[in-house]
Amino acid sequence: MPESWERPAVPSLPGTGTAPRLHDTATGARLCSAPDDIIARLYVCGITPYDATHIGHANTYLAFDTLQRVWVDAGLEVHYAQNITDVDDPLLERAAATGVSWRDLADQQIELFRHDMTALRILPPQDYVAVTEVIDEIAQAVAVLLDRGLAYRVPTSDADADDVYFDISAAAETSPWRIGEESNLDREQMLLLSAERGGDPNRPGKRDPLDALLWRAAREGEPSWPSVLGAGRPGWHIECSVIALKHLGHDFSVQGGGADLVFPHHDLSAGHAAALSGHPLAKVYSHAGLIAYQGEKMSKSLGNLVLVSELLRECVPAAGIRLALLAHHYREEWEWTRAGLDEALARLDAWRGIRSNQHGAVALDVLDQVRQRLADDLDTPGAIAAVDRAVETGVDDPALIRALVDALLGIEL
Ligand code: ZN
């Protein structure tokens, strides 16, 4: 397993916080994120290593970092797993376009991501799993789905090699899942998004255009691995189902990711996992909003990425980047601006200058307010406002404010 990255120290605070209620994408309700036992289990989809780490990635991992910090403050243990999609079409296309080997590109981008996560003081996963490490297990899971009649073969131009697809109708009849359950989209919207986000609704030979690729038979010039299914490589969604089930089991606390993963990736990952285990994948499906830049969604193809590594190279303090992101609720869709970053840097300076004032705010009350705001669907703007008020008046115990800002917002003052 690749190493994740260095875990920042998290100071403990007086008293105990509360596990947050989280907005659940599937039901639209705020659900309690507390596990039945002491261990909160979290799966967040990792990067496809070709455009790491833009500010949108940082926002997603920061959202689930905040969740972990609030869980820890509530006295819970956290078991966190994350994948790396280190073989997939976008990575291969990027490698071909730049004349770099896909493996070198992936390794270099994984290293960059790890560096950025360390700088941003994001709590690391205990299980950090590259897809290329678990190809056998994924192929075996696909074979199980074939055996159960929940998957089928689609011939390729090579008579000896079939692709394998997930049969969404068969799966809906036999497992606690139906397509669109997590995303709540109608069929037309799903068809559109499937075409936009790596699916192939028009592939001839499929039973339903929304059936998702589980296994891609080897093609000339593409990496492939031998397996029980013959040579090939996994589809995108099944990798997360298999890694999550292996490390966290089913019905885990929270499946998380950016809002652009809701469909098809998360919907189908949950579907594959339900077809394999007979249980829902997770209890809460949580998604971070997408960040725009210069009026458009941030994306490699539009060339409008704001990279964490570039900001760090300009000597922007990582704590300032964190504070600029935390000033927005994690589900909000917003636009990154230099003015927003400058505001965060000014706030960081003000917080670092917090005054001791025995007639000012009571630090324990501030802690209570911050805990309340974070327990309410991780309201970081509300938590920041509570600290701002204490900084304005001065506070009886500045050390406690520094500790709570470090423990709950991940910012060292
Ligand atoms: Zn995933």
- Centre of ligand 1 from the C-alpha of residue 26, in Å: 16
Please tell me whether residues 82 and 219 are part of one structural domain: yes
Average pLDDT over residues 101-124: 96
Query: How confident is the model over 329-336, as a mean pLDDT?
Result: 97
Distance between Cα 374 and ligand 1 center (Å): 26
Residue 372 alpha carbon to ligand 1 centre in Å: 31
Separation of CA 149 and ligand 1 centre (Å): 24
Residue 261 CA, ligand 1 centroid: distance in Å = 8
User: How many whole angstroms from 61 Cα to the centroid of ligand 1?
Assistant: 13
Q: Which two tokens stand for residue 177?
A: 């899942």
Structure tokens at 397: 């115990």
pLDDT in the model for residue 302: 80
Q: Are residues 273 and 340 in the same domain?
A: no
Least trusted range by pLDDT, from 44-53, 247-256, 347-356: 44-53
Number of residues written out for the chain:
413
Question: What does the pLDDT average to over 300-329?
Answer: 94
Shared domain for 155 and 242, answered yes or no, is yes
Distance of CA 20 to the CA centre of its chain: 18
Looking at the predicted structure, is the pLDDT value of residue 297 above 90? no
Q: CA 223, CA 217: separation in Å to the nearest integer?
A: 10
What local confidence, expressed as pLDDT, does residue 224 receive? 97
**How far apart are the CA of 258 and the centre of ligand 1, in A?**
10
CA of 83 to the centre of ligand 1 (A): 7
The pLDDT tens digits of the residues spanning 313-325 come to 999 999 999 999 9
pLDDT-derived band at 312 (thresholds 50, 70, 90) equals very high
Within-domain flag for 14: no
Q: Are residues 232 and 282 in the same domain?
A: yes
Asked if pLDDT for residue 291 goes beyond 90, the answer is yes
On whether both 201 and 273 belong to a single domain, the answer is: yes
Q: Tell me the CA–centroid distance for residue 133 and ligand 1, in Å.
A: 15
Q: How confident is the model at residue 160 (pLDDT cuts 50, 70, 90)?
A: confident
Residues 146 and 214 in one domain: yes
pLDDT in tens, 213-243: 999 999 999 999 999 999 999 999 999 999 9
Helix (H, G, I), strand (E, B) or coil at 146: helix
Amino acid at 137: E
Number of domains within the chain:
2
Clarify whether residues 107 and 210 are in a common domain: yes
Report pLDDT for 301: 74
What CATH number does residue 376 fall under?
1.20.120.640
Tell me: pLDDT of 1 over 80.
no
* Whether pLDDT at 298 is above 90: no
User: Which CATH number belongs to the domain containing residue 57 in this structure?
Assistant: 3.40.50.620
Residue 309 falls within a domain, yes or no? no
On whether residue 93 sits in a domain, the answer given is yes
Give the structural domain span for 136: 21-292
212 C-alpha to center of ligand 1: Å?
Answer: 14
Q: Residue 139 pLDDT > 80, yes or no?
A: yes
Residue 182 near residue 270, CB atoms below 8 Å: yes
R_g over Cα of the chain: 22
Q: Any idea what DSSP says for residue 131? A: G
Asked if 210 and 347 sit in the same domain, the reply is: no
* Mean of pLDDT values over 3-22: 96
State in Å: Cα 349 to ligand 1 middle.
37
196 CA → ligand 1 middle, Å: 17
Please give the distance, rounded to the nearest whole angstrom, from the Cα atom of residue 161 to the centre of ligand 1: 26
Ligand 1 centre distance from Cα of residue 310 (Å)? 26
Asked if the bond preceding 125 is cis, omega within 30° of 0, the reply is no
pLDDT of residue 204: 95
The residues, any chain, with a CB within 8 Å of residue 201's CB and separated by 6 or more, are 191, 194, 195, 209, 210
Q: Ligand 1 centre from 158 Cα, in Å? A: 29
Segment 343-374, tens digit of pLDDT: 999 999 999 999 999 999 999 999 999 999 99
Residue 126 has a pLDDT of 97
Residues 282, 352, single domain; the answer is: no
Do both 56 and 96 map to the same domain? yes
Nearest to 287 by CA among 259, 266, 254: 259
- Ligand 1 centre to CA of 118 (Å) is 21
Last residue of a domain, one of 249, 277, 292: 292
Of the chain, the percentage scoring pLDDT greater than 70 comes to: 100
User: What's the confidence (pLDDT) of residue 3?
Assistant: 82
Q: Exposed, middle or buried, 303 (CB in 10 Å: 0-12/13-18/19+)?
A: exposed
User: What is the DSSP secondary structure assignment for residue 263, as one 8-state letter?
Assistant: I
The CA 135 to ligand 1 mean position distance, Å, reads: 15
**Ligand 1 centroid from CA 329, angstroms:** 22
In a domain, residue 307? The reply is no
Query: pLDDT band at 51, cuts 50/70/90?
Result: confident
Q: How far is the CA of 182 from the centre of ligand 1 (A)?
A: 14
Would you say residue 62 lies in a domain?
Answer: yes
Residues of the chain with pLDDT > 90, as a percent, come to: 94
Q: Are residues 388 and 283 in the same domain?
A: no
User: Residues within 5 Å of ion ligand 1 by Cβ?
Assistant: 45, 240
Q: Is residue 222 part of a domain?
A: yes
Question: pLDDT at residue 26 above 80?
Answer: yes
Answer for the pair 255, 271: CB distance below 8 angstroms, yes or no. no
**Quick check: is 16 in a domain?**
no
Q: Give per-residue pLDDT as tens, 182-212.
A: 999 999 999 999 999 999 999 999 999 999 9
What is the Å distance from ligand 1's center to 241 Cα?
Answer: 8
228: how many CB neighbours lie within 10 A of its CB? 12
Is the pLDDT reported for residue 300 higher than 80? Answer: no
Do the domain assignments include residue 306? no
Q: List, for residues 57-70, the tens digit of each pLDDT value.
A: 999 999 999 999 99
CA of 240 relative to ligand 1 center, distance in Å: 5
Lateral strand order in the sheet of 151-155? 151-155, 162-166, 213-217, 232-234
Backbone angles phi, psi at 360, to 5 degrees: -90, -150
Distance 48 CA to ligand 1 centre (A): 10
**283/336 same-domain check:** no
Compute the mean pLDDT over every residue in the chain, rounded to the nearest whole number. Answer: 96
